[in-house]
Amino acid sequence: MSQNARRPRRGAGSNGSSLNSTMSIVVAAVAVLLGFLILRDIGGTDSSSSDIPVDPVTSETVVTETTLVDPAVAETTLPLTAFKVQIANASKVSGSAGDLTTQLQGRGFIVQPAINTDAATQKQTATVVYYNPGSESAAALVATTLGGVATAPMPTPIPTETGNIGEASVLILLGTDLAGKPLPAG
């Protein structure tokens, strides 16, 4: 027998297994990257990540002006994944901010873990959607999803227990009007 007869031949199958190995490596790399990004979002908020300056001298929340959102006018072309939402419980109804977080996530919004308002914030009867500059259309979309609640520019200081809203650009200050209630159909 010659040496050529003992050697395995390389046929079309060799390129296929090489492609499968390369594809497996690419899929694994993408999975690791996605896992990192998901864990980064779950990891909590960073108290230094807010773009809104907080004046340590004042302890009052200043609301400049609220606007009711007409559902027909709200911008609906904005993708729900283009911004993050933070919900702060101002209703004093235990678990209501967590319930609303779950409901909004079910509708496709990116929502950070629910938090409470700061100790100085009084119990709120009306829910308000606050927004950072440039996030007016995101706030309008959230307000419409909540049934047309009022929107307003973000107050300073931010009325959350941490004093910031992390990576979010929209803050829902949950009042008793929506606490513990299901979202309107939509």
- In the chain, the number of structural domains is 2
Judge if the upstream peptide bond of residue 157 is cis by omega within 30 degrees of 0.
Answer: yes
Q: Are residues 169 and 109 in the same domain?
A: yes
Q: Are residues 90 and 38 in the same domain?
A: no
Q: Are residues 85 and 138 in the same domain?
A: yes
pLDDT in tens, 71-95: 444 445 788 889 999 999 999 999 9
Question: Are residues 130 and 102 in contact, defined by beta-carbon separation less than 8 angstroms?
Answer: no
Q: Are residues 143 and 76 in the same domain?
A: yes
Confidence class of residue 98 from pLDDT cuts 50, 70 and 90?
Answer: very high
* Cα(183)–Cα(175) distance, integer angstroms: 14
Confirm whether 180 is domain-assigned: no
Where is pLDDT greater, at 62 or 97?
97
- Domain holding 34, by residue range, is 11-42
Q: Are residues 75 and 166 in the same domain?
A: yes
Q: Are residues 93 and 164 in the same domain?
A: yes
pLDDT in tens, 135-154: 999 999 999 999 999 999 99
Confirm whether 6 is domain-assigned: no
Q: Note the pLDDT of residue 32.
A: 65
169, burial (CB in 10 Å: exposed 0-12, middle 13-18, buried 19+): buried
Query: 159 pLDDT exceeds 70?
Result: yes
Q: Are residues 126 and 164 in the same domain?
A: yes
Confirm whether 121 is domain-assigned: yes
Q: Note the pLDDT of residue 38.
A: 63
Q: Note the pLDDT of residue 81.
A: 85
Q: Are residues 26 and 92 in the same domain?
A: no
Confirm whether 53 is domain-assigned: no
Q: Are residues 33 and 111 in the same domain?
A: no
